[in-house]
Chain A
Amino acid sequence: AAGMFLRLLSDIQWRAAHPKWRRMTSSQRSTSTTAEPHPVSLPAQAQVVICGGGIMGTSVAYHLSKMGWKDIVLLEQGRLAAGTTRFCAGIVSTARPVSVELKMAHYSNKLYQQLEQETGVQTGYMKTGSISLAQTQDRLISLKRIASSLNVMGIPCEIISPKKVLQLHPLINIHDLVGAMYVPEDALVSSANVSLALATAASRNGVQIHERTTVSHITVQKGRVTGVETDRGRIQCEYFVNCAGQWAYELGHSGEEPVHIPLHACEHFYLLTHPLKEPLSSSLPTVVDPDGRIYIRNWQGGILSGGFEKNPKPLFTEGRNQLEIQNLQEDWDHFGPLLSALLRRMPGLEALQIMQLVNCPESFTPDMRCIMGESPTARGYFVLAGMNSAGISYGGGAGKYLAEWMVNGYPSANVWPLDVKRFGTLQSSRTFLRHRVMEVMPLMYDLKVPRWDFQTGRQLRTSPLYDRLDAQGARWMEKHGFERVKYFVPPGKDLLDLDHSKTFYKPDWFDIVGSEVKCCKEAVCVIDMSSFTKFEISSTGDQALESLQYLFSNDLDVPVGHVVHTGMLNEKGGYENDCSIARLSKRSFFMISPTDQQVHCWSWLKNHLPDDSNLVMEDVTWKYTALNLIGPRAVDVLSELSYAPMTAEHFPSLFCKEMSVGYANGIRVMSITHTGEPGFVLYIPIEYALHVYNEVMNMGQKYGIRNAGYYALRSLRIEKFFAFWGQDLDAFTTPMECGREFQVKLEKGMQFLGQEALLEQKQNGVYKRFTMFILEDHDTDMDLWPWWGEPIFRNGRYVGKTTSSAYSYTLERHVCLGFVHHFDEKTGEELVVTTDFINQGEYEIDIAGQRFQAKAKLYPFSSLFTQRRRKDEVELSGYQRE
C-alpha cells in the first residue's frame, strides 16, 4: 500500500539529466527492498556532506550549488524524498506569523513556481490560493494581523466576508463563520517531486547524490567537523549539514560531542478520498479552518484533509527504528474529532468514499519554529530540521538561508528566531521534548494572543526565591527554560479570572502592572532578574582587556569598578549581543547579557577569543541570583542594609562594587536597573539569595517596597525608549541605527569588530532608524492593543514594522518602538534615513488592519527623567533587554 501511495501522491516522473545518477536510482526503484551493490562509490572527501534527501537536504544542495559551491555530497539512507517529504500534504502557504518564516514561505512559492521550467521535472505546482476561516472574532483579528504583514510585503491578501468564501469554494458551510482571509497566490505542489526537481538541478550543478547510504556519526576534531562515517565508508569534509528530519535529534547525539537539535516527532493524520461524482477542480482553493483544527485541499478530484488535534501522539521518543514509518497504523478513533470538523465544514461530503487515512509523522520543536544554523559546539556542523509540519512551505527559503549562511557567513535576513543557538542542552531532554511537542502540535491551530506562554516543560530553571515569590502571588513566564515573574497578583484578586486574561484587547493585569510601575516610580520595587546570562572573563595579563576591546564597540579600558554598556558587533556592525560589562579588576570582567544569549554568546566568544590558556572564560549564570531594586528609595534601602552611603556622590551611576548587604558579604552591587529609573542590581551568590531578599523586604517595608515583575520592567523600559536585544536589536541592526553612537568608541585607539562598517555608516548615514511612536487616537480600553510586528506608515506609505510595544502608565498612552526605512517612491530602493525624514512625517500604526495616528520621536521624553533626579545621574540611554 505504501508503494502505491508514493505513486499516487507524487506521480514521480523521473527525468534526471545526470546520467550517472539516473542509472543508480532507476535500478533501485525496480527492486525496492533488496540492497544492491552501489554502482558509484563514495568519494573519499568533499567540501560539504549533506545528510538527508528530503525537501530540506535537496534544497540546501540546490542553493549551495547555485551559489557556486560544487564539491557537495548528499547522502540519503533510503531513497530521495521518501520520508516525511513524501507524505507531506503539499500545501505552500505564506500566512505565517513570524516575519522571517513569512519571507521563507514567500520565496519557496516563487521558487517552486518556476522549478518545473528550470529542471524539466513536473512539480505539480498549481496556484490555487488559500482561504483561512474564522469562526470567532478573535480568530478574525489574528488573521487580520497576518493580512497586514502580508500586504506590506506585497503579497496579495484580503479579508473577505463569509459570502465571498462561498463564491470561492461552493462546498463550504459558512453559517458559523465571521470572516476569512484569502491569499490568492498560495499553491499546491507534489512535495516529493519538488524535492526531486531540486535534486535534479543540484545534480546537474555537480552535487553527487548517494541513496541507501546511512550516516552513522560525524567526526569532530578541535571543535571542527572533519568527516562523516557512513555504512559505506568515510568521507572527509569541512562542512556537514544535518537535514535528517525527525532523525536529526538522534544523529546529533550520535557523535562523541553531542549536537543538540531539540525536535520530536508526532503522528500526523490526513484523509484521502475518492473523487467526487463531479470531480473537484484542481484549482479550488485550499481551506484552513483553524477553529475546527483542520485543513482541506483538493486532491485528484477528491479531497485531502488533515489537522492538528488536541491530543497528539508523540512517537520515537525512545529513538528510531522502533517501527518503520511505513508500518504506522491508521487510527480512525484518533481522527474522529477532525472528521467531525470536516463534515461540519463541508456537509456535502458525507457520501464521499474514503480512500485511506495516511499516518505521516512530522517533527515539532519546543517553540514551534524551525531549527537552522551552525552548531555552537562543532564548527562546520550545520542543521536544518524541525519544520513543524510546514516543511514544503519553508523548504525553498530555508535552504536558501542556510546556503547563504554557509557561503557568506550569515544569511541575508535575520534568522535569530530560527537559530539552533537559541536552544541549549536544557531543551534536549527526551521527556521535555515529548511533553512540549504534545503542547506545540495543537498550538499550530490554537489562537495565539499576545503574551501567551508554554505550559509544559516548565519550572526547569528557577531562582532560589521561586517558592517565596510564588507564595506571594507571582505569575510566571518562561525564557530559555528559566521561570520569570510577569507580575504579582495581589491577595484577594480573582485568580481564575486572571488566568483567563488572554486577549487582543486590554488585559486583566492592566491595573496590577500599573501599580507595580507606580511603585517603581515613587518608592522601590524588587524584580528577580536571575535568568540573565552572566560570564566572567579573566586573564593573567592584559589578554582579557585586549580581546574584549576587539570584540566590543565601547571602550572597556575604564577604571576598575565601572560598568560599560556595549554592543558585541559582527563585521557589519550588527548586534550579535548587547551587554553590560563591569570591570572587576585590571584583568577580570563580569558580563551580563540577555537570558537567551547563553549559548549564542558563549559560542561567539569561544570562536573569537584567542586560543590562550591564560585567558579564562566561565559561565557563572547559575552562581548568582540577581535582584533589581528599582525606584527612588532603592538607595535608602541599600544604605540602611549595608551601612554604606549609596548616594550619587559615593556610588555614581554605572558603577560596580562588592559590598555587604545584611549579614551577607561579597554582594556585587551595580548601579544600573535596565529601565532608566534609579536603583541597583544586586548579584548575590545563590546561597545568600534568600537572606538578602528577606533583608531587603524587611528593611524596604518602611519605604513601601513591593515585588514587581517583567511586565512592569517592560513598560518602564519602552517608555524610556530602551531597545533590547532579540526583540528590537538583531544582527542586522547597528548602534548607529538605534541612536547609540555614544556606546561606540571609534577612536578608542584600537581596532574592533564592526568598526569599518560603523565608520562607513557614520559617513554615509543609516538606512533605517529606531524610532519611538506614541499612539495618539488609541483608546486603551476599547481598541486592539499593539503587540509587535505592526506595519508603520509614514504619510500613508509603508516604512517599516514595530518591534515592541507597551502601555506607558506615565504618558497614559501606548508606546511602540520600531524601525523606519526610507523607500524611494518610484523604485522602492532604500535611501538614507535622516532625522528630518523621521521628524517631517505623519505616522500611523496598523493594528490588525486598523490604523492609529502616532507621533514619532527619536529621543525619549526628558520630562520623564528629570522628576526627582539630577541629570548627571541618568543612565543616558538605550540599554535594555528582556
Chain B
Amino acid sequence: FYLTPPQVNSILKANEYSFKVPEFDGKNVSSVLGFDSNQLPANAPIEDRRSAATCLQTRGMLLGVFDGHAGCACAQAVSERLFYYIAVSLLPHETLLEIENAVESGRALLPILQWHKHPNDYFSKEASKLYFNSLRTYWQELIDLNSGETTDVREALINAFKRLDNDISLEAQVGDPNSFLNYLVLRVAFSGATACVAHVDGVDLHIANTGDSRAMLGVQEEDGSWSAVNLSYDHNAQNEREVERVKMEHPKSEEKSLVKQDRLLGLLMPFRAFGDVKFKWSIELQKRVIESGPDQLNDNEYTKFIPPNYYTPPYLTAEPEVIHHRLRPQDKFLVLATDGLWETMHRQDVARIVGEYLTGVHHQQPIAVGGYKVTLGQMHGLLTERRARISSVFEDQNAATHLIRHAVGNNEFGTVDHERLSKMLSLPEELARMYRDDITIIVVQFNSHVIGAYQDEE
C-alpha cells in the first residue's frame, strides 16, 4: 500500500516549526532572520531532541540538536537544561546577584530565556524543582567565584556542558526521595546524548559540539552556487584526532581495546556524550547505585552490563569542542542536524538543496532563447521537466521539512521520488530503525544585510 502525497506531507510536517525573529525586537537588529526545524522519528519514541531560545539577559540566540541513545531520557534532560546552564555561564556578575537575591526574597525572577518550542517539545514538570536547585547551586558558585572578568563565550559553553554533565552524574548518585524522580535521574544518567549547539550573537557564531551531530554553514559563492563549510568535528572513530585523544587519556596497555569495530570499548559510537555513566563511573560506583536503585533499573540488562576492558574510567566526556566563526554576508544559513541526516546526504547536497530552497527557485539558471533555434514543442518539454524538478520545493514551507523530504525520498538522481518517500515513511515501527535513523534538523537563516552592516562598521 502507498501513502498519498497529502498523507506523506502530513507525516513530514507533523513536527515542523518555524520562528521568524521580529524585525525590530526593541534592542538590536538580529543577524538571524529566523529558523525552521523539524524531526522525523525512526525510533518509537523518538530519541532525538531539539531546542531553540533567545537569551534575554545577554544578547544572542541558542539553537541545538540532541541525539539520544539507550533511551531518550538523557537527550530530553539536556534539551531542557543545557541552555539555562549556558545562559547562566554568560551572565555578568551583577545579573547573577540580582537573580539570586530575587530567589532569596521570593521575588519574581528575571526571565533568562525565551523558548521557541514546537507543541511536541515538552518539559518535564516533575523534575523542574530538582533541575532548578542544581542550576541555582551552579550560579551561586559562579557568584562566589566572581573572577571579575568578562565572560568569554567559548569558556561559557565549555563550562556549561561540563557542569550539566556533572550535575546529571551527581543527581544520580545522590538520588531523590521521590521514587519517580529517583528513577528519572537514574535513567537520565544511564542513557546518553550528544549535543550540537549554536550560539549566534551578531556576527559571532560559536558552535559547541559533543558527539556526532554536525553543524554546517551554507555559503553562497559569487556565481550564486552553494558550498558547505563544516563548523564541527564528529567525535567518533572516523575522526583520527579524536581516536588519538582517547588513546592519550588511557594507558598504552588499553590501546587495542579502547576502540573496537569503530566503537568506544566496542560499544559506543560517539566518543563524547552527556550521561552514559556506564562509561564514566568506576565499576564500584555503578554497582552500588544500581543495587540501591529501583527494581526497574536492576531488571535492565543493559544498565547492569559493565563494558568489557573497563580499567581506567572515565572513558567518556561531555566536554565540547568549540569553533568560533565570524559571519560574512555570503554565509546565508546554518544547518544543525543529528547524524540521521548526515548518514544519508553529503553536506554539499545539503548546502545546495537548502540554498536553492531559501532563495526560491530563481537560481535555477533561467532559460534564454537567444539566437538558438527552439521550437514551441521543445520549449514546452523543457519547461515541463523543470517544473517537475522544482515542484517538491513548493510543497514545503519549512527548509528543514524540505531537507527531510530529500534525505528520505531522494533517488539515485538526487531528486525526490514519491514512491520511495512513501515506502520509507510507511515502514512498520520495528523496521524503520533499520532503514533510517531519527532525523532532527534546524536550519538557521542569517540576515546578510545586518551582517554586512556589522562588517561596514569595522
Contact = CB atoms under 8 A, between A and B. Distances in A.
Interface of A: 271, 273, 329-333, 335-336, 339-340, 342-343, 349-354, 356-357
B369 A339 contact: no
A293 to B, nearest CB: 16
Contact of B374 (A333, A342, A349, A354): A354
Nearest to A340: B380
A332 B379 contact: yes
Contact of A353 (B364, B374, B380, B387): B374
A787 to B, nearest CB: 37
Contact of B369 (A333, A350, A354): A354
B380 A331 contact: no
Contacts of B105: none
A336 B375 contact: no
A356 B387 CA distance: 21
Contacts of A340: 380, 384
A331 B366 contact: yes
Given A273-B376, A333-B361, A340-B380, 6 more contacts: A329-B366, A332-B383, A342-B376, A343-B380, A353-B376, A354-B376
A271 B380 CA distance: 13
Interface residues of B, number: 18
B383 A336 contact: yes
Given A329-B366, A331-B366, A356-B369, A336 B384 contact: yes
A351 B387 contact: no
Contacts of B364: 333
B386 to A, nearest CB: 6
A344 B274 CA distance: 62
Nearest to A355: B369
A352 B373 CA distance: 10
A109 to B, nearest CB: 31
Contacts of A350: 375-377, 380
Given A332-B383, A333-B383, A352 B366 contact: no
B375 A332 contact: no
B377 A343 contact: yes
B369 A330 contact: yes
A484 to B, nearest CB: 33
Q: DSSP majority for the A interface?
A: mixed
Contact of A336 (B368, B373, B377, B387): B387
Interface in B341-386: 361, 364, 366-369, 373-377, 379-380, 382-384, 386
A295 to B, nearest CB: 16
8 contacts: A332-B369, A332-B382, A333-B361, A336-B384, A340-B384, A343-B377, A353-B376, A354-B374
B375 A354 contact: yes
B391 to A, nearest CB: 12
B386 A353 contact: no
A357 B373 CA distance: 13
Contacts of B387: 333, 336
Contact of A339 (B361, B379, B386): B379
A58 B264 CA distance: 85
Contact of A333 (B366, B375, B376, B380): B366
Interface in B193-229: none
Contacts of B374: 353-354
A332 B366 contact: yes
A332 to B, nearest CB: 4
Contacts of B375: 350-354
A326 to B, nearest CB: 15
B376 A339 contact: yes
Nearest to A329: B366
A353 B382 CA distance: 15
Contacts of A349: 376
Interface string B235-262: 0000000000000000000000000000
A357 B376 CA distance: 11
B369 A357 contact: yes
Contacts of B377: 343, 350-351
A356 B366 CA distance: 14
A273 B380 CA distance: 14
A712 B143 CA distance: 73
Given A333-B387, A336-B384, A339-B383, A352 B369 contact: no
Q: Which of B366, B376, B379, B382 has the most CB of A within 10 A?
A: B376
Nearest to A343: B380
Nearest to A350: B377
Nearest to A273: B376
B384 A330 contact: no
B23 to A, nearest CB: 15
Nearest to A344: B380
Nearest to A305: B376
Contacts of B376: 271, 273, 339, 342-343, 349-354
A279 to B, nearest CB: 16
Contacts of A271: 376
B21 to A, nearest CB: 21
Contacts of A352: 375-376
B380 A330 contact: no
A604 B375 CA distance: 58
Contacts of A329: 366
A357 B369 CA distance: 8
A73 B427 CA distance: 77
B299 to A, nearest CB: 55
Nearest to A352: B376
Given A333-B366, A333-B386, A333-B387, A339 B380 contact: yes
A350 B381 CA distance: 10
A305 to B, nearest CB: 9
A685 to B, nearest CB: 36
A351 B373 CA distance: 11
A357 B368 CA distance: 9
Contacts of A330: 366-369
Nearest to A342: B376
Nearest to B390: A333
Contacts of A273: 376
A329 to B, nearest CB: 7
Nearest to B386: A333
A351 B375 CA distance: 5
Q: Which of A332, A352, A357 has the most CB of B within 10 A?
A: A332
A356 B372 CA distance: 10
B356 to A, nearest CB: 14
Contacts of B369: 330, 332, 354, 356-357
Nearest to B367: A332
Contacts of A343: 376-377, 380
B204 to A, nearest CB: 33
Nearest to A1: B370
A673 to B, nearest CB: 48
A352 B369 CA distance: 14
A333 B367 contact: yes
A740 B108 CA distance: 74
B260 to A, nearest CB: 54
Contacts of B383: 332-333, 335-336, 339
B11 to A, nearest CB: 25
A564 B417 CA distance: 73
Minimum-distance CB pairs A-B, first 3: A350-B377, A336-B383, A332-B367
Contacts of B366: 329-333
A343 B366 CA distance: 21
Contacts of A356: 369
A476 B383 CA distance: 40
A335 to B, nearest CB: 8
A331 B379 CA distance: 12
Contacts of A333: 361, 364, 366-367, 383, 386-387
B63 to A, nearest CB: 32
B366 to A, nearest CB: 7
Contacts of A336: 380, 383-384, 386-387
A335 B367 CA distance: 11
B360 to A, nearest CB: 11
A350 B379 CA distance: 9
Contacts of B367: 330, 332-333
